[in-house]
Amino acid sequence: MKPKVYSTYSIPEHVKEFMTDYCDIIEWRGDGRTPRDVLLAEIADVKGLYTGGSSMVGRIDEELLNHAPHLKVISNVSVGYNNFDVEVMKKRNVIGTNTPHVLDETVADLAFALILATARRITELDRFIKDGSWKPTTNYHEIYGKDVHSTTLGIIGMGRIGEAIARRAKFGFNMDVLYYNRNRKPEAEEKYGAEYCDLTSLLTRSDYIVLMTPLTPETFQIIGEKEFKMMKKSAVFINVSRGQTVDEQALIRALQNGEIYGAGLDVFETEPVNPHNPLLQMSNVVAVPHIGSATARTEAAMAMRAAENLVAVLRGKEPIDPVIK
């Protein structure tokens, strides 16, 4: 008998074809992801769970593991794995995997899209032109934006995606790159002229600040009131990591008080974001619904990589991307 696997969303056909040789799959067929109560009821006899990284429905905690006594592997179709309670999973000998590498360039593209859109007020001016506000009398000074090229970019979290952003900044936009990271990245320093600095120095010197760090207890609300106050009034803040790496109320206040120029946000403290969140009412905020890796090609590659990780464990082999062994 093949081991049973539960997937919290519909798996692409080409990936399912590969997986079905090794396991029987039960898939959530409804909208979005499996509701938590359904998930808990479905996993009593599964060996594998195929799920997504940022959905709190898929939070892998004691409660979930209590409902899944046979679980061997949880394969996240995402690079982030802050939905894992690492300690509990270790205790239960449940292996956790993620999907690094295959999404690096796509997420870096989105970070740059947010930089450009916020600096040049693309979404605001898109609305402006579509609602007929562009008139012969339009005062052009009022629709000026900010240059991106030849400015300074600060990257908080210089992992693979951070490096892909640095490459775009250096070679595409002639920017000076500063970075703050747990450890120094001599290669990135050499390749992109990136300067390692402490957080204060990065925040005070950067024109654009990209938050790209994984969410961990150390990075929870790493950017808050004090940090926003350190930024230039002309700074643009971009978050492509996780919403909880920022104190969202402090971000709202910083924008309301004109402490920074604008923000480009892919992630929010609560997702889906509350439609009444003040950030969504601000013309100097560009907001997108957590689409860092959301291109058809990259999502397909992530789905396959997650499947390979899951199948490897079910077959008693080492997964390619273990985050918890």
Q: Which of residues 180-239 bind ligand DGY (CB under 6 A)?
A: none
CA distance 19 to 17: 6
Of the candidates 79, 164, 194, 246, which one interacts with ligand DGY according to CB under 6 A?
79
290 belongs to the catalytic site? yes
Is 162 one of the binding residues for ligand DGY (CB under 6 A)? no
**Helices 160-167 & 104-119 angle (0-180, nearest 10):** 50
Residue 301 within binding range of ligand DGY, rule CB under 6 A: no
Cβ nearer to ligand DGY, comparing 156 with 260: 156
* 124 classed as catalytic: no
Check residue 97 for interaction with ligand DGY (CB under 6 A): no
What is the helix (H) or strand (E) element at residue 18, kind and residue range? Answer: helix 13-19
Q: Among 55, 75, 78, 206, which residue sits at the site for ligand DGY (rule: CB under 6 A)?
A: 78
Q: Please, which residue, 55 or 151, has the CB nearer to ligand DGY?
A: 55
Contact 280/290 with Cβ under 8 angstroms? no
Q: Edge to edge, what strands does the sheet with 73-76 contain?
A: 24-27, 4-7, 48-51, 73-76, 95-97, 322-324
34 binds ligand DGY (CB under 6 A): no
Candidates 7, 8, 34, 54; binder of ligand DGY (CB under 6 A) is 54
Q: Does 164 bind ligand DGY (CB under 6 A)?
A: no
| C-alpha torsion sign, points 254, 257, 262, 266 | positive
Of 105, 195, 271, 299, catalytic: 271
Which residue in this structure is represented by tokens 């799959």? 25
Question: Does 83 contact ligand DGY by CB under 6 A?
Answer: no
By three-state DSSP, how is residue 168 classified? helix
Neighbour tally for 36: CB within 10 Å: 16
Binding mask 263-292 for ligand DGY (x = CB under 6 A): ---------------------------x-x
- Residue number with the smallest Cβ distance to ligand DGY: 292
| DSSP for residue 45 | T
158 vs 231 by CB, closer to ligand DGY: 158
At 286 the three-state DSSP class reads strand
Residue with smaller CB distance to ligand DGY, 121 or 290: 290
Pairing verdict, β 4-7 and 195-196: unpaired
Is 70 marked active-site?
no
Q: Which amino acid does the sequence have at 33? A: R
Residues near ligand DGY (CB under 6 A) = 53-54, 78-80, 103, 107, 290, 292-293
